[in-house]
Amino acid sequence: MEQQNSSAPKTKRYTLRTFVQETFLTGNFFIQNDLITYASACAFSFLFSLLPVVIMCAVILIRVLKASPSVLNNLYQFDTGFSQILDVSHLVNSVLDFQGGIVFNIVVGVFIFWMARRLFNSTMKGIGCIFHKELVVRPLVSQLIVVAGEVLLVVVIALAIFVLTSGRTLLETSFLQELIPPVIIAQSNRLVRFLPATLMFSFVTICFKVATRTHPRWKHCILAAAACTLTFFAFSFFSSMLQNTTTYNMIYGVMSSIIILLLKVFVFFILFLFFAQALFVHQFFDQLLLGELYLLPGRDETQLHLVLRRLLFIDPDYFILRMAAATDYKSGEMIYQEGDQGEWVYFLAQGQVQITGKHHIQQCHPGDFFGELPCILGRSREESAMAETQVQVIRIEAEDFISMLEKNPTANKKALSQVSNYFSSHS
């Protein structure tokens, strides 16, 4: 049996190096998965989902204005520049003449349904690309329920955006300030200020927990959603500082707001998918870090990005600080012997190890793996490993190592190459 001379139990801590490693993997997978394209598709679908809802709101508003045409005259007073481009009397007559028939309502409803499906399909494809989950084919009744929920959610989100974006402006107008008591306006301003962040945080948290289908912990979903929300509103704050709204009249103000809205939607989906990727990396960091260690660039690499990658991952604090993951051996002590069962794969963190076989002697240095072939082939060991100096190794169970190879094509290719070399040398 292989020795299991574990060092004293260590408490598992989250170090700065581990955080940097997770951040690097998040950015690397974000680029590899081409999540910018998915974010663009989500933003495009979301904006086009808003359009039919805005049309629906406009139809409802027109019908209200037809019942009270005098309201148009009050709205006209909001911006004096409005009179330079529109004839109020003509606008009133156009509103009164508008007829929204049944066909028009059906077209708007179909448009809402279609774009809601595009939005959620784009979002789920992005999540599926991150978490390697295919879209589930549900029974017809379940699909109809899901579609109805998606359409309802899009309508609610669109109405919330419409109310929140327009509500802040309307509350500052003299027209409403004369009609509504100051106390109600003050409370409404507070609600409008904090409600968007609350709604966004809740929505993102639920998406991370439910849509991923990998059952991440609630606390991790909450932290990722909070980071996404705070980053988005920090971007919104700094982008608003770049706007000089003092020179805007009504028309230019609306155009500027639309452009900023387009940018914010795109940035939101970038952040949404980025922190979803960060959640995936954190949830499966054990296997991802194991894959990085197995594919660690060699000591003789000269390319800058490979050198930096080796420096970043050669000290895996995440494994070293875990109880029973790191094992210390004294100089001259045997790590395993010929004939032992291949229960563990070893990563050399510190020191030097000598591998002795029937026809070869091999030196292992920090950053090297050894002892993996018996685990892959399911055979007893044909060589011995001895600590030449005081060493520290990270032991990986054979089952975990094989699971990593199954999920990491590049690591699998390296393992198959070693198996091929083994059989070539024994033929």
Per-residue model confidence as pLDDT tens digits over 206-252: 889 988 888 899 999 999 999 999 999 999 888 777 666 555 544 45
- Please name the residue that has the structure tokens 């801590």: 13
The pLDDT, as a whole number, for residue 365 is 93
For residue range 283-323, list pLDDT tens digits in order. 999 899 999 999 999 888 889 989 999 999 998 888 888 75
Residues 6+ apart with CB under 8 A from 274: 26, 30, 35, 228
Q: Other C-beta atoms within 10 Å of 252: how many? A: 12
Q: Which H or E run contains 327?
A: strand 326-329
Reading the block at residue 426, the tokens are 């024994």
Torsion sign over Cα 407, 410, 411, 416? positive
* 276 pLDDT higher than 70: yes
Sign of torsion, CA 218 224 230 236? negative
Phi, psi of 132 (to 5 degrees): 55, 45
**What single letter denotes the amino acid at residue 272?**
F
Gyration radius from the chain CA atoms: 31
| Rounded percentage of the chain residues whose pLDDT exceeds 70 | 62
**C-alpha 391 chain-centroid distance:** 38
* Mean confidence (pLDDT) of the chain: 77
Q: How far is CA 280 from CA 3, 265, 299, in A?
A: 34, 23, 30
Phi-psi region of 213 (alpha: psi -120 to 50; beta: other; left: phi over 0): left
Nearest to 353 by CA among 330, 380, 374: 330
Task: Quote the crossing angle between the two packed helices 250-283 and 102-131, to the nearest 10°.
Answer: 40
DSSP tag of 341: B
Please report, for residues 23, 45, 126, 248, the alpha-carbon distance to residue 283 in angstroms, rounded to integers and kept in the order given. 13, 29, 17, 47
Q: Which of 8-12, 46-50, 196-200, 401-405 has the lowest mean pLDDT?
A: 8-12
If you ran DSSP here, which 8-state letter would residue 82 be given?
G
